[in-house]
Amino acid sequence: MVGREDGDEDGFRLWQSLTRQTDLTAQLCSIMKDVRNVRGSAQKKIEKLRQLLSGVFSELTNFDEVNLYCLLVLENIVAD
């Protein structure tokens, strides 16, 4: 994508990042639900969390700098 003077490229990247964050948030909610439904000790819940993070949800163990930056931008917008 070629950037234009009006900032469309930056807007598109921000939109992509926000969409990605929405997906990650949905995944985190799914993990929370799965871990919450584990019966037994905290150790069993930890084992379930490790299993989920090493499998289907392994992408949650690494965050892009861009995603973290967008979280800060959103936090500042809400705070203002």
pLDDT per residue as tens digits for the range 15-42: 887 888 888 888 888 989 999 999 999 9
| Per-residue confidence band for 64, with pLDDT thresholds at 50, 70 and 90 | low
Residue 66 lies in a domain: yes
Rounded to whole angstroms, how far apart are CA atoms 52 and 72? 27
Q: How many domains does the chain have?
A: 1
Rg (CA), the chain: 17
Residues 50-75 have a mean pLDDT of 69
Checking if the pLDDT of 1 tops 70, the result is: no
Residue 9 lies in a domain: no
Residue 63 lies in a domain: yes
Q: What is the mean pLDDT of the chain?
A: 76
Range of the domain at 64: 15-79
